[in-house]
Amino acid sequence: MKITKADIGLFIIFFIMSLISFVYVYNMGKSTGEQTVIVSHDGEVVGKYPISIDRQINVDKNGHTNKINIKDGNVQMTFSTCQNQDCIRQGKIHDGSKSIICLPNKIVVEVKSEESQFDSVAK
């Protein structure tokens, strides 16, 4: 029942994994250029909006409704017909390091910079 060497090794592996993923996600968020809000349903993009222009977006898919609000460079899910309301609690996002996900309604809201999109096309 004593802590073994393998335990400590596993802990170090997990810890390094989290550090690497932290750095990776942080770099994803550190983007330059015009930021675009991308709303997708079940993997398909249903709309792209510049983050700099305030607006209200309504997404109606499969009888579910989600309302997304872009205001002062922040994006927020303001209304959802889902049961758990996790997407509302995820709050405001403003860069690629975070995304809003409504699992029951399969809605994903991401922020991406135009530059990184060109990069992925070029590859």
Partner 1 sequence: MRTENIGKKVALSGILISLAMIFSYIESLLPLSISIPGVKLGVANIVIVIAMYTVGNKIAFTVNVMRVIAVGLLFSGAFGILYSMSGCVLSFVIMAILKRSDKFSIVGVSMAGGVLHNIGQLLMAAFLVSSTAVFAYLPVLLLSGIATGLAIGFLSREVVRRGKFDFK
Footprint of partner 1 (CB under 8 A): 1-4, 6-7, 10-11, 14-15, 17-18, 21-22, 25, 28, 40, 42-44, 83-84, 86, 89-91, 96-99, 101, 103-104, 106-108, 110
Residue 102 CB, nearest approach to partner 1 (Å): 8
* Three-state helix/strand/coil letters over the chain: CCCCHHHHHHHHHHHHHHHHHHHHHHHHHCCCCCEEEEEEECCEEEEEEECCCCEEEEEEECCEEEEEEEECCEEEEEEECCCCCHHHHCCEECCCCCEEEECCCCEEEEEEEHHHHHHHHHC
CB of 43 vs partner 1, minimal distance in Å: 3
CB of 120 to partner 1, least distance (A): 12
Residue whose CB is less far from partner 1, 1 or 122: 1
